[in-house]
A and B are shown apart, each in its own frame.
Chain A
Amino acid sequence: MHKIVSAIFLAENIKKIEIEAPRIAKKRKAGQFVMIRVSETGERIPLTIAGSDPDKGTITLIVQGMGKSTRELNSKEAGDSIHDIVGPLGEPSHIEKFGTAVSIGGGLGAAIAYPTAVALKEGGNYVITINGARSKELVILEEEMKAVSDEAYITTDDGSYGFHGFVTQKLQELIDSGKAIDYVLAIGPIPMMRAIAEVTRPYKIKTMVSLNPIMVDGTGMCGGCRVSVDNQIKFACVDGPEFDAHLVDFKNLSDRNKMYLPEERQSAEAFTHKCNLLKQA
């Protein structure tokens, strides 16, 4: 059992949760993830580690309530516990002195792009961050991103804050302005990552994306998280989760992530029903 030290909402439905996990806190590097199981009957779900405090022995996860498991996790408060955490898993982000590096987070992706932005900065890069959200209320980690960036941009789809448009448009604008970009890391919804790959492809800018396929064990044993990269099977849990955006078969990833949609819906509805009953009680 792992105790939750603090749990606060950063935006509607997006919660920052700090959990006791001393071994993981000590070892984790940017880009790595944990598998968690909220309760005894829960699924094992992968969540990228947003940060850690090795002295306190805690790790931070930023969680958006989507399906049953993430909503159940987001219903937890400080003092509650979660059943299992294992990690840090996956290969850490590849960090070197690229020159000018752009770290792009779309929606919740900002939570994952942030630790890598920190590592890129520490690696001696000129760091540009682009933090995209649907609207102003959903922007997360604005101050944190600003603190590690040489240039920090916010984009909103509805124009309620920062640049009016998508992260891809902002990136294109930067490229068009003549800025020499050596490296791009893009993390967010699959359509966003795919679009970023198409923006950078003509310029041959090295572009990495962090993939989020369905996983079971997270240690390489099951192969459920296999993705097609350069027409080869790769396991996101041990070979990734970061891959070359220009070689990833995003369509296949997107299709495979739909495998359990009916079951996910069924679980989510049952969870909503349970929550409503609890509210009435």
Chain B
Amino acid sequence: MDAQSITTKERLAIPRQEMPSQNPEVRSHNFQEVNLGYTAELAQQEALRCLQCKDPACIKGCPVNIKIDQFIKFIAEGNFLGAARKIKEDNVLPAVCGRVCPQEDQCEKTCILTKKYKSVAIGNLERFAADYERETGNVELPAVQPSTGKKVAVIGSGPAGLSCANDLVQLGHAVTVFEALHELGGVLMYGIPQFRLPKEIVQAEIEGMKKLGVVFIPNAVAGRSVTVDELLEEEQFDAVFIGVGAGLPWFMGIPGENLLGVYSANEFLTRVNLMKSYQFPDNDTPVFNCTGKNVAVFGGGNTAMDAVRTAKRLGAEHAYIVYRRSEAEMPARIEEVHHAREEGIEFLMLMNPLEFIGNEAQWLTGAKCLRMELGEPDDSGRRRPVPIKDSEFILPIDTAIISIGNGSNPLIKQTTPDIEVSKRDTIVVDINTMATSKDNVYAGGDIVTGGATVILAMGAGRTAAAAIHEKLMRKKEH
């Protein structure tokens, strides 16, 4: 079968090609990537399943509207580099998004095949094309427009900041990215684990941007090292984009949360991913020694899955997800839940922690929990968990990791009071331009939406870049 002569019937007869992955027994003891990626044969087979719809619904399901039908056609024809470049017209970080996007809620959800068959594995194909381009040394630097003489500051080097910077530099603006941590990449570095997103991929993308002329300044905390006003006035940037991500982790507000052995997911993951504490003592930063211990992660999102699978890899005997609703309500991607279960993660559903219990030395020994059942739907449309009377029990655990989301970082608000924020302290923007209430200041990503996805943040970065470009060029003409 080839891409030219294949009939629709033949396309429909091809089963969805499964992503090869490391054996669960093996991978639950290492930090190497779980998914191994399609071979060229698997990719072409999968690409042939795409019906090449006249009006592809998948594109509308993608937050950055990648020309999905076109790149898949290229793959089917064996033109893998063509596919990669087609994706890059709309997505700066395809190797990242192919790995971490919730495709089942976006492009693959709207795929025409979803109803009767399984959707085309768009994410797997995106990843394949991007990896092929990078691994064969064929990454081409995009053309950069002549210098506009304009300077833009981007605060934060996570998905929002990187995509904004990438577009602006190509349009000929001088872009400086300020990053609070010592490593570039934001949540892609400190948050998402190596086994789901190898750090080398993120670093390769950033190196590419450096070659285009983006200047990166690590160890610069917005609001502390430099304020938005200083960037605009003293350092004479023509515009500022704020993509600082989510901020302070929430705790549950139950007794015992300050016991030793209780972490936020942010702390646990930062220690392991950014500070590489899984290589202690070769790296100086320690993390709780999970070997043979019981670790419980409270929450049901992707971060919770990352944390619990990390704990398992650090040697936990029992690694639990404790969630107060049922599995159907968990916000984590299906693939992550599936992988976690394969790796031996134990899911304790409909269970609500009431209190953490510690010993004399104030080390955590257990969590007092209450069993729940599902009641009527709440505001979010999910069925509300209701406590079952007299169902309290103590779950013996040595470490608790709290993964119930983040509030907003207060530093921008404190130091730039003329940027309007919502009741939740997220920055208020015009969603068509990502412009804030302050002139020449734009924002996007989790600082605007609250905790969301990599691809949404990237979309916001791109929207802002287009609006910033438009405004700066309009000013220039005057």
Contacts and interface: CB of A to CB of B under 8 A. Distances in A.
B232 interface: no
Nearest to B407: A220
Interface string A47-69: 00000000000000000000011
Given A37-B182, A41-B282, A86-B221, A220 B362 contact: no
B226 A221 contact: no
A41 to B, nearest CB: 5
B409 to A, nearest CB: 5
A85 B225 CA distance: 11
Contacts of A267: 281, 284, 286
Interface in B64-112: none
Interface in A208-241: 216-217, 219-224, 226, 228, 233, 235, 238
A221 B281 contact: no
A170 interface: no
B27 interface: no
Contacts of B280: 263
Interface in B226-265: 226, 247-249, 251, 257-258, 260-261, 263-264
B178 to A, nearest CB: 11
A75 interface: no
Contacts of B361: 255, 258
A124 interface: no
The interface residues of chain A, by DSSP majority, are classed as mixed
Given A221-B249, A252-B258, A43 B225 contact: no
Contacts of B251: 223, 226, 233
Interface in A78-94: 83-89
B136 interface: no
Contacts of B271: 216
The interface residues of chain B, by DSSP majority, are classed as loop
Contacts of A24: 225
B416 interface: no
Contacts of A224: 263-264, 267
Contacts of B283: 41
Contact of B257 (A27, A220, A233): A233
Contact of A87 (B225, B275, B276): B225
Contact of B219 (A69, A85, A263): A85
B220 interface: yes
Contacts of B282: 41
A235 B220 CA distance: 20
Contacts of A221: 190, 247-249, 266, 270, 409
B20 interface: no
Contacts of A203: none
A30 B264 CA distance: 30
B362 A255 contact: yes
B410 interface: yes
Nearest to B260: A259
Interface in A240-281: 249, 252, 255-256, 258-260, 263-264, 266-267, 270
Given A42-B284, A68-B284, A83-B182, A219 B221 contact: yes
| Most chain B CB within a 10 A radius of its CB, from A88, A217, A256 | A217
Interface string B164-198: 00000000000000001110000000100000000
Contacts of B182: 37, 44, 83-84, 86
Contacts of A252: 258, 362
B396 interface: no
A203 B285 CA distance: 42
A266 B281 contact: yes
A222 B267 CA distance: 4
A263 B260 CA distance: 14
Contacts of A37: 182
13 contacts: A27-B225, A37-B182, A41-B284, A87-B225, A89-B221, A216-B275, A217-B180, A217-B181, A221-B409, A222-B266, A223-B249, A233-B258, A258-B361
9 cross-chain pairs, A with B, having the tightest CB-CB distances, nearest first: A263-B286, A222-B267, A86-B219, A255-B362, A223-B264, A43-B284, A84-B182, A224-B267, A223-B249
